[in-house]
Chain A
Amino acid sequence: MDFAFTDEENRIISEIREFIEKESTPEMLEETHKLERIYGGKLGREFIKKFASNGWLCPSWPEEYGGINSSAMLTYMIKNEMAYSGIPALFVGAHMAGPTIMEFADEKMKEKFLLPIAKGDLEFSLGYSEPGAGSDLLSLEMRAEDKGGHYLVNGQKTFNTHAHVADYHWLAVRTDPDAAKHKGISILIVDFKTPGITIRPMITIVGSRTNEVYYDNVKVSKDCLVGEENKGFNYIMEALDYERMFPFAHYRKVFENIVEYAKEKIVHGEPLSKKPLVRQKLAQLEIELEASELLYYNLAHVLDNGKVPNYQASMEKTFVCELDQKISAVGMEIMGQYGQLSKGSKWAPFDGEMEYYYKWSIVETIYGGTTEVQKNIMAQRGLGLPRV
């Protein structure tokens, strides 16, 4: 057991830190903030393409696909650094679709997508949820009929977050309505420019945008099928595990801001940080942040040992998101009256960041599977408790 990063890992991280420091502009960071750190904005793309040219976007991939053959550990360190610094950090192509393509798609599809993904040229949007299929993803109904040379796709998706800025849809469809639920689903990669697709905004509690996507007689070539027909649910399950491997360092940053506020805010002649109640709350959060760091890097450790983390991903996701809510709640308490002020208010500390993250932590806890769903996974797959 060794809890330290290697010199080489630390060297690359400081190189990345320098790069971000030098290359990120306030305009790009502002755009990224408005997009909730998802990838696809104009300035974000310009930045990430440069960033990715060093092999940093998909570092664990082989060099032929744009990676640097690194360990999963280094990949996770880089992802966390990206989350901390406020540059685009949520990628469907690089973090979810890409690894699944690598594992299950044929050579032709790998050739077409992997290098462009690793270079930051392409972004995807997940197309899973539907009005009647949220936590119960197996109930999805969007139909892809086999018409010989192509599929004819009809139906509606909801909560497809990257759809308005992405190039391709990572789309879960029902190809065999007569088979058992989990044996009739396939994954298609659909170009968003294909005729018959309509994207409409759904706005969240924090004001961020996700989308509903309608397919109206959309013709999709059979070349767009990922892996084998009707095996899509297995692919989804694996991609979901990847989705759940959350970097947490954006909340490390929020926490640092709260600590700074407590040190600097003078109330009745004394900084808030001198109050025992404030100090204890902050110390508790630091303990939990360090615990989440261990859970997070353990995922990389599992990957580096040739396995895909599964219930461990649920553990990490749940712990981190619940902690994000706690950090935000403590921040709101410490900032008191000031915590409620929004971006643009004259008196708002950190330009209204506190109330923003207070709401954002709720969104984060929901996407990729709610705490309740994750706990069911931990109970069943991790602890081996019987299914209900």
Chain B
Amino acid sequence: MNFDLNTEQKMLKDSARNFFSREADKEFIREMENDEKGYSQKMWKKMARLGWMGLLVPEKYNGEEMGFLDMTVLLEEMGYACLPGPFFSTAVLSVITLLESANEKQKKRLLPKIADGSQIITLGWIEESGTYSGKGISAKAELKDDNYIISGTKLFVPDANTADKIIVAARTDNSPEDPDEGISLFVVDLKGDLKGDLKGDTNNKSINIEALKTIRSDKLCEVTFKNTIVPKDNMLGEPGKGWETLNKVLLKAAVAKCAEMSGGAKRVLEMVVEYAKMRHQFGRPIGSFQAIQTGAAC
């Protein structure tokens, strides 16, 4: 077992630490809380130039083709910086979903645009039950000629307010024996102004996006589809096998989230220790009291 970062990982960590300390100070993060988009496009482009959006994307789709472990190094730094924005939904959730399920043609069209920072893509799976399970999915996708017609409501969709596309989980079979069966994944265009891109669906008036206010002012949305027409070529993977894909995504996303949170926790502990050394009461730094020491150490 070796817990040391390799040279490449060290470089990634250092460059991320430097970048965020320069570009994402406290004022910026507070500003983003109240910002409608919740991220800075200028910064997004810079992050793309550093290769971060395409970290998990294979080289043949213009990505960096680095490993998942490398991604956790970067995410830890993002947590450390308390970075707001659609990185997690685009470069983690969506990239993993696409790598697990998209066909060659779809990958070629979508992944390079994620890697170069020109497209934000999110994932809409949770519904009213609030659970990550096949049982919770009741949005419907019905095949009509060459299109699927999607109807249903997705909740807690991250960054849908700024995303160009959304990957949606919907039922193509309404009464399977196993509720994890019969779910399919579709790429749906949210902006509808990208000509020739996966035959972008242009009737996006059938989609309603409403941002939900949350405890940390991140951008979680309700996304409602009402007879949204999606070309059948936009289906990812085999029909009915969507949950199999999402199950894998869920496990990897959980690990990725842990990396982000452990970075955040590290920063909080640093702040606590710094304050305990600096703040004086009763004529000494409060960090000299055992109650504070055991609290900080446990």
Which A residues fall within an 8 A CB radius of B? 132-136, 139, 267-268, 336-338, 340-348, 352, 355, 358-359, 372, 375-376, 388
Most buried by A among B130, B136, B282: B130
Cβ of B183 to closest chain A Cβ, rounded Å: 15
Question: How far is B220's CA from A43's CA once the two chains are assembled, in angstroms?
Answer: 36
List 12 other contacts, CB 8 Å, given A372-B291, A388-B289.
A134-B281, A267-B130, A267-B131, A268-B129, A340-B220, A341-B212, A342-B213, A344-B213, A345-B214, A347-B222, A352-B213, A359-B215
Cβ < 8 Å to A, chain B residues 272-293? 280-283, 286, 289, 291-292
10 A-B pairs, CB-CB below 8 angstroms? A132-B280, A139-B281, A268-B131, A336-B130, A337-B156, A341-B213, A344-B213, A348-B212, A348-B213, A372-B295
Question: How far is B130's CA from A136's CA once the two chains are assembled, in angstroms?
Answer: 46
B216 within 8 A of A: yes
B215-242 CB mask vs A (1 if < 8 Å, else 0) is 1100010100000000000000000000
Closest A residue to B218 using CB positions: A340
Closest B residue to A269 using CB positions: B135
Most buried by A among B135, B281, B295: B281
B133 within 8 A of A: yes
Closest B residue to A354 using CB positions: B215
Query: Are the C-beta atoms of B130 and A338 separated by less than 8 Å?
Result: yes
Q: Which residues of A contact B133 (CB under 8 A)?
A: 268
Q: Which residues of A contact B292 (CB under 8 A)?
A: 372
Cβ of B222 to closest chain A Cβ, rounded Å: 7
Question: How far is B220's CA from A336's CA once the two chains are assembled, in angstroms?
Answer: 14
Closest A residue to B210 using CB positions: A346
The 6 closest A-B pairs by CB, nearest first: A136-B281, A355-B215, A342-B213, A337-B130, A345-B213, A345-B212
Question: How far is B127's CA from A267's CA once the two chains are assembled, in angstroms?
Answer: 11
Q: State which of A338, A343, A375 has its C-beta within 8 Å of the C-beta of B213.
A: A343
Cβ of A102 to closest chain B Cβ, rounded Å: 31
Q: Which residues of B contact A375 (CB under 8 A)?
A: 291
Query: Are the C-beta atoms of A136 and B212 separated by less than 8 Å?
Result: no
Q: Which residues of B contact A341 (CB under 8 A)?
A: 212-215
Query: Are the C-beta atoms of B126 and A337 separated by less than 8 Å?
Result: yes
Q: State which of B212, B280, B291 has its C-beta within 8 Å of the C-beta of A376.
A: B291
Given contacts A136-B281, A268-B129, A337-B130, contact A342 B214 (CB under 8 A): yes
Cβ of A328 to closest chain B Cβ, rounded Å: 11
Question: How far is B128's CA from A338's CA once the two chains are assembled, in angstroms?
Answer: 10
Cβ of A43 to closest chain B Cβ, rounded Å: 25
Q: Which residues of A contact B141 (CB under 8 A)?
A: none
Query: Are the C-beta atoms of B281 and A135 separated by less than 8 Å?
Result: yes
Q: Which residues of A contact B135 (CB under 8 A)?
A: 268
Query: Are the C-beta atoms of B215 and A136 separated by less than 8 Å?
Result: no
Please, how many residues of chain B have a CB less than 8 angstroms from a CB on the other chain? 26
Cβ of B283 to closest chain A Cβ, rounded Å: 8
Question: How far is B211's CA from A347's CA once the two chains are assembled, in angstroms?
Answer: 11
Question: How far is B291's CA from A388's CA once the two chains are assembled, in angstroms?
Answer: 12
Q: State which of B136, B156, B222, B291 has its C-beta within 8 Å of the C-beta of A268.
A: B136
Question: How far is B111's CA from A306's CA once the two chains are assembled, in angstroms?
Answer: 76
B81 within 8 A of A: no
Cβ of A336 to closest chain B Cβ, rounded Å: 5
Q: State which of B136, B156, B282 has its C-beta within 8 Å of the C-beta of A136.
A: B282
Query: Are the C-beta atoms of A346 and B215 separated by less than 8 Å?
Result: no
Query: Are the C-beta atoms of A340 and B216 separated by less than 8 Å?
Result: yes
Q: State which of A136, A347, A358 has its C-beta within 8 Å of the C-beta of B155.
A: A347
Closest A residue to B292 using CB positions: A372
Q: Which residues of B contact A346 (CB under 8 A)?
A: 210, 212, 222
Closest A residue to B130 using CB positions: A337
Cβ of A366 to closest chain B Cβ, rounded Å: 14
Q: Which residues of A contact B222 (CB under 8 A)?
A: 346-347
B141-171 CB mask vs A (1 if < 8 Å, else 0) is 0000000000000011000000000000000
Cβ of A315 to closest chain B Cβ, rounded Å: 17
Q: Which residues of B contact A376 (CB under 8 A)?
A: 291
Most buried by A among B126, B210, B213: B213
Question: How far is B156's CA from A139's CA once the two chains are assembled, in angstroms?
Answer: 49
Q: Which residues of A contact B136 (CB under 8 A)?
A: 268
Q: Which residues of A contact B283 (CB under 8 A)?
A: 139
Question: How far is B155's CA from A202's CA once the two chains are assembled, in angstroms?
Answer: 35
Query: Are the C-beta atoms of A340 and B282 separated by less than 8 Å?
Result: no
Q: Which residues of B contact A355 (CB under 8 A)?
A: 214-215
Most buried by B among A340, A359, A376: A340
Closest B residue to A339 using CB positions: B215
Question: How far is B256's CA from A288's CA once the two chains are assembled, in angstroms?
Answer: 36
Closest A residue to B279 using CB positions: A134
Q: Which residues of A contact B131 (CB under 8 A)?
A: 267-268, 336
Q: Which residues of A contact B289 (CB under 8 A)?
A: 388
Q: Which residues of A contact B212 (CB under 8 A)?
A: 341, 345-348
Closest B residue to A137 using CB positions: B281
Query: Are the C-beta atoms of B281 and A340 separated by less than 8 Å?
Result: no
Question: How far is B131's CA from A388's CA once the two chains are assembled, in angstroms?
Answer: 51
Q: State which of A134, A267, A268, A340 has its C-beta within 8 Å of the C-beta of B214.
A: A340
Most buried by B among A136, A337, A340, A348: A337
